[in-house]
C-alpha cells in the first residue's frame, strides 16, 4: 500500500468532506488503483448508496492520486487537474454503505495539457459499478 486514509491528501488536492479515496494501492506512470470504504457520512451518500457523482469523483481522485504519487517520487510540484469531459459513462450499480469499492484508472493518451484516462469502479465481489473515459486538463 502506497498511501492510506491518514496520508492520502499528500497526493490529492481535495480535502474533507470531498476526499473520495482511502488507500492508494498501486501507482505507475500509466495507471493507479485505489480503494474506498463507503461510510454513511460520505458527502455523496444518498440514503444507503453512493450516488453517481461520487463514483465519477472517485475516478477523478484516483487519477489525481496517480499524478500526485508520481510527482512525489520525482520531487516535483503536483499540478492541479480539472475534469474537462466525461465520456461513455456507464453506471451499472450503486455501492451501498459499509461496502468497499476498488477503482482503477489507466492513462490512454496525453496530449499537451490534456490526459485521457479510462476508469473502472468495482465492488467487493469484483462486479463493475461504473466505468468512463475522462479527459483531465492539467494546469501547469
In this predicted structure, the answer to whether residue 48 has a pLDDT above a threshold of 90 is: yes
pTM (predicted TM-score): 0.96
For the segment 55-63, the average pLDDT, to the nearest whole number, is 97
- Give the pLDDT confidence of 99-136 residue by residue, as tens digits: 999 999 999 999 989 999 999 999 999 999 999 999 99
Could you tell me the CATH superfamily of domain 8-139? Answer: Hotdog Thioesterase (3.10.129.10)
Burial of 114: CB neighbours in 10 Å, binned 0-12, 13-18, 19+: middle
In the chain, where are the structural domains located?
8-139
The reported pLDDT for the residue numbered 78 is 86
Instruction: Check whether 140 has a pLDDT greater than 90.
Output: no
Residue 82 corresponds to which cell in the numbers above? 480539472
Task: Give pLDDT, residue 80.
Answer: 87
How large is the average pLDDT for residues 79-101?
96
Distance from C-alpha of 139 to C-alpha of 15, rounded to nearest angstrom? 19
Amino acid at each position: 500500500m502506497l498511501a492510506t486514509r491518514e496520508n492520502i491528501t499528500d497526493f490529492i488536492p481535495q480535502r474533507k468532506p470531498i476526499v473520495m479515496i482511502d488507500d492508494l494501492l498501486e501507482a505507475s506512470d500509466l495507471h493507479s488503483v485505489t480503494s474506498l470504504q463507503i461510510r454513511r457520512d460520505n458527502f455523496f451518500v444518498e440514503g444507503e448508496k453512493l450516488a453517481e457523482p461520487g463514483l465519477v469523483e472517485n475516478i477523478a481522485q484516483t487519477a489525481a492520486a496517480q499524478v500526485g504519487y508520481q510527482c512525489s517520487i520525482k520531487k516535483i510540484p503536483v499540478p492541479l487537474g480539472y475534469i474537462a469531459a466525461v465520456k461513455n459513462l456507464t453506471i451499472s450499480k450503486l455501492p451501498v454503505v459499509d461496502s468497499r469499492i476498488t477503482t482503477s484508472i489507466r492513462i490512454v493518451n496525453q496530449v499537451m495539457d490534456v490526459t485521457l484516462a479510462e476508469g473502472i469502479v468495482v465492488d467487493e465481489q469484483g462486479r463493475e459499478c461504473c466505468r468512463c473515459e475522462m479527459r483531465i486538463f492539467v494546469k501547469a
